[in-house]
């Protein structure tokens, strides 16, 4: 009798555990609407040459011939074809449609493979004849406000600490950028750092293969990733939503940590130029198709105003088709002069993605006299401030002979009125565990 009761309790317990597991699965599974590609354009045989030409300019990713081959095979299936066969062909077709990049702005195609310099801003700095110009890592090491060495025992490669006034400068840049954006009627939103892989892929970044920029988390029910930029979380915020036309354009901003698995061994990209995580202030807009071009120009002008006011020398670039990635229709980059490296380095960009992300995420708006017409919105994104590279630009451009850094005037209200960053006392040296063990043996 006792054994029977014990067996019943165990069965009840296991059933409860199964139900709890199912409940967790249902709760955590992210339900994303199916992508709706512009098949009127993509599946029209008359458009094959134009689409193929665009693919060739966009690094050759995508196969429009295969798309049409799969579509023809699907349409020619006999009436008695199995549902499994239809589903398999349709899945293959959807996978190939997903790879086709966005169209390209006609003006961009005239640039060829090189960016077009739109304009230069401010003058290059001069420390005087014979003065040594230090690179960011050299400068901050002398000033004792930055640590990147000997961190492998607990944070890994490409990790860093900002300390003292350099950490203050990071926060000053964030507050400076936000103050300008909020004054221009952007809405501030806090976003999650962990996103479903499908959101990231719908925004145009691959999460597959051994070599990509995405960190994946070990989660059983849904492929979750660390977000590479808050653009993805902001786009995901509107996934599967319908916005009233009168509310457009929507302008949002977010401050987030960005996680990138990429690294570089190039000498000019050493230090914090390319790291695994950093802070960024992002701009994002959902708008009507006839508003996205003007919104891109607004984002570009905001970025220019932010950096121009800081006095940094930079160039504004209209990027060629081969540098647009899959989602962008047009893209501007801003590259600041970094004298310690002797090069221009990208500090910001902005992109008009037209309906590329909206069709994959189901971002729509309602229009018409009776609000009955549903249309796919356009999305625009831009970087108001990417902290590590802005720190590089500021410290390398405004370094002084006495190992101090002049703080640009617009940032001083956010730095407690300070006009300079000075050298600090030496911080205690960190030692790797292996080295400590060797010292103990000796």
Q: State pLDDT tens for residues 225-283.
A: 999 999 999 999 999 999 999 999 999 999 999 998 876 666 666 778 888 899 999 99
Query: By CB neighbour count within 10 A (0-12 exposed, 13-18 middle, 19+ buried), where does 225 fall?
Result: buried
Domains of the chain, start order: 39-99 (no CATH), 106-421 (3.30.930.10)
Q: What is the pLDDT at residue 84?
A: 92
Asked whether residue 346 is marked as a ligand-binding residue, the answer is yes
Cα distances from 5 to residues 10, 142, 157, in angstroms, run 9, 74, 56
Asked whether residue 276 is marked as a ligand-binding residue, the answer is yes
Asked whether residue 262 is marked as a ligand-binding residue, the answer is yes
Q: For residue 88, report the phi and psi dihedrals to the nearest 5 degrees.
A: -65, -45
Q: What is the largest CA-CA distance in the chain?
A: 97
Q: Average pLDDT of 100-123?
A: 95
Name every residue whose Cβ is closer than 8 Å to that of residue 421 and which is 6 or more positions away in sequence: 143, 145, 165, 166, 169, 404, 405, 407
Sheet of strand 224-226, all strands in order from the earlier edge strand to the far edge: 194-196, 224-226, 216-217
pTM of structure: 0.87
Task: Tell which wins on pLDDT, 401 or 149.
Answer: 401
Judged against a pLDDT cut of 60, whether residue 160 lies above it is answered with yes
**Confidence bin at 375 (pLDDT 50/70/90):** very high
Q: What is the pLDDT at residue 30?
A: 62
Q: Average pLDDT of 4-11?
A: 43
Q: How far apart are CA 16 and CA 301, in angstroms?
A: 58
Q: What 3-state DSSP class applies to 319?
A: coil
Q: Average pLDDT of 87-102?
A: 96
Q: What is the pLDDT at residue 24?
A: 44
Q: What is the pLDDT at residue 430?
A: 53
Which range scores top for mean pLDDT: 6-20, 94-108, 416-430? Answer: 94-108
The alpha carbon dihedral of 302, 362, 233, 154 has a sign of negative
pLDDT digits (tens, 9 = 90+) for 291-325: 999 999 999 999 999 999 999 999 999 999 999 99
Task: Tell which wins on pLDDT, 39 or 15.
Answer: 39
pLDDT digits (tens, 9 = 90+) for 130-157: 778 999 999 998 899 988 877 766 666 6
Asked whether residue 38 is marked as a ligand-binding residue, the answer is no
Paired residues of 154 in beta bridges: none
Q: For residue 98, report the phi and psi dihedrals to the nearest 5 degrees.
A: -60, -30
Asked whether residue 165 is marked as a ligand-binding residue, the answer is no
Q: How far apart are CA 244 and CA 374, in angstroms?
A: 10
Q: What is the pLDDT at residue 220?
A: 74
Asked whether residue 149 is marked as a ligand-binding residue, the answer is no
C-alpha triplet 246, 375, 97: angle, nearest 5°: 145
Paired residues of 245 in beta bridges: none
Q: What is the pLDDT at residue 273?
A: 87
Asked whether residue 253 is marked as a ligand-binding residue, the answer is no
Asked whether residue 381 is marked as a ligand-binding residue, the answer is yes
If residue 180 lies in a helix (H) or strand (E), which one and from where to where?
A: helix 164-183
Asked whether residue 159 is marked as a ligand-binding residue, the answer is no
Asked whether residue 8 is marked as a ligand-binding residue, the answer is no
Q: How far apart are CA 170 and CA 182, in angstroms?
A: 19
Q: Average pLDDT of 159-171?
A: 94
Judged against a pLDDT cut of 90, whether residue 420 lies above it is answered with yes
If residue 187 lies in a helix (H) or strand (E), which one and from where to where?
A: strand 187-188
Q: What is the pLDDT at residue 271?
A: 75
Asked whether residue 347 is marked as a ligand-binding residue, the answer is yes
Structure tokens at 137: 């890592």
Query: By CB neighbour count within 10 A (0-12 exposed, 13-18 middle, 19+ buried), where does 249 fall?
Result: middle
Q: What is the pLDDT at residue 442?
A: 45
Q: Rounded to the nearest 10 degrees, how much is the dihedral formed by the CA atoms of 111, 114, 120, 123?
A: -160
Name every residue whose Cβ is closer than 8 Å to that of residue 203 and which is 6 or more positions away in sequence: 231, 232, 235, 327, 357, 360, 361
pLDDT digits (tens, 9 = 90+) for 318-374: 999 999 999 999 999 999 999 999 999 999 999 999 999 999 999 999 998 788 899
Q: What is the pLDDT at residue 86?
A: 92
Q: What is the pLDDT at residue 135?
A: 93
Q: What is the pLDDT at residue 11?
A: 47
Q: In 208-318, where do the E strands start and end?
A: 216-217, 224-226, 242-244, 250-259, 277-287, 314-318
Closest C-alpha among 334, 336, 322, 343 to residue 266: 343
Asked whether residue 71 is marked as a ligand-binding residue, the answer is no
Asked whether residue 168 is marked as a ligand-binding residue, the answer is no
Asked whether residue 304 is marked as a ligand-binding residue, the answer is no
Name every residue whose Cβ is closer than 8 Å to that of residue 290 and which is 6 or more positions away in sequence: none
């Amino acid at each position: 009798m006792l054994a029977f009761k014990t067996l019943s309790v165990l069965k009840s317990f296991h059933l409860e555990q199964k139900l709890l597991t199912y409940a967790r699965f249902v709760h955590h599974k992210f339900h994303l609407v199916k992508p709706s590609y512009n098949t009127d354009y993509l599946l029209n045989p008359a458009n094959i040459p134009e689409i193929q030409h665009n693919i060739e300019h966009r690094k050759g990713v995508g196969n429009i011939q295969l798309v049409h081959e799969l579509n023809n095979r699907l349409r020619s299936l006999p009436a008695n074809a199995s549902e499994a066969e239809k589903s398999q062909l349709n899945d293959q077709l959807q996978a190939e449609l997903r790879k086709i990049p966005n169209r390209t702005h006609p003006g961009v195609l005239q640039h060829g493979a090189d960016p077009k310099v739109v304009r230069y801003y401010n003058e290059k700095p001069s420390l005087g004849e014979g003065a040594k110009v230090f690179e960011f890592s050299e400068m901050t090491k002398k000033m004792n406000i930055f640590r990147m060495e000997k961190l492998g025992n607990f944070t890994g490669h490409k990790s860093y600490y900002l300390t003292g006034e350099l950490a203050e400068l990071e926060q000053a840049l964030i507050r400076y950028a936000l103050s300008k954006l909020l004054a221009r009627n952007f809405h501030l939103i806090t976003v999650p750092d962990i996103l479903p892989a499908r959101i990231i892929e719908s925004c145009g970044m691959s999460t597959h293969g051994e070599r990509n920029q995405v960190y994946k988390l070990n989660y059983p029910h849904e492929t979750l990733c660390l977000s590479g930029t808050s653009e993805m979380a902001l786009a995901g915020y509107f996934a599967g939503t319908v916005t009233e036309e009168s509310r457009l354009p929507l302008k949002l901003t977010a401050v987030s940590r960005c996680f990138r698995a990429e690294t570089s061994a190039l000498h000019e990209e050493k230090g914090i130029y390319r790291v695994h995580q950093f802070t960024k202030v992002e701009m994002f807009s959902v708008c009507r198709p006839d508003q996205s071009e003007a919104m891109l120009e607004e984002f570009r002008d905001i970025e220019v105003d932010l950096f121009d006011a800081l006095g940094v020398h930079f160039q504004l670039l209209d990027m060629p088709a081969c540098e647009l990635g899959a989602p962008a229709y047009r893209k501007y980059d801003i590259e600041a002069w970094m004298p310690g490296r002797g090069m221009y380095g990208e500090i910001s960009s902005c992109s008009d993605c037209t309906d590329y992300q909206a069709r994959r995420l189901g971002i729509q708006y309602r229009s018409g006299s009776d609000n009955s017409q549903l249309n796919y919105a356009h999305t625009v994104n831009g970087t108001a401030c990417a902290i590590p590279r802005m720190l590089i630009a500021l410290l390398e451009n405004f370094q002084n002979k006495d190992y101090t850094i002049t703080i640009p005037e617009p940032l001083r209200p956010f730095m407690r009125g300070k006009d300079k960053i000075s050298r600090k006392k030496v911080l205690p040296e960190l030692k790797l565990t292996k080295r400590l063990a060797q010292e103990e043996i000796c």
